[in-house]
Amino acid sequence: MPICSYLVYPVAGKAGELRQTLESLPGCEVKVADQGHMLILVTETSDEHREEELQEQLTSIPSIQCLAMTFAHLEPAISHGGVS
């Protein structure tokens, strides 16, 4: 289960709108930091494919000025086949 955290800097005047947008995405938890000038985003998704989809959604949000990943825990895919 991928778990990631980000520092998110909103476009000036868009912090409230950005917070609502991020909170509406499944698997996202948002905390306000630096008196609203920065948001801390923690995401938890079911698998790597869903994590990739979420990252694409995040990078397409126009009210994000800067998105910086600070932590990522991506479990490797488990092979159920035989030994190679």
Q: pLDDT tens digits, residue range 29-49?
A: 999 998 889 999 999 999 999
Q: Under DSSP, is residue 80 helix (H, G, I), strand (E, B) or coil? A: coil
Lowest mean pLDDT among 16-25, 36-45, 48-57, 69-78: 69-78
Instruction: Tell me what pLDDT residue 84 has.
Output: 45
Task: Label residue 62 exposed, middle or buried (CB < 10 Å: 0-12, 13-18, 19+).
Answer: exposed
pLDDT recorded at residue 46: 93
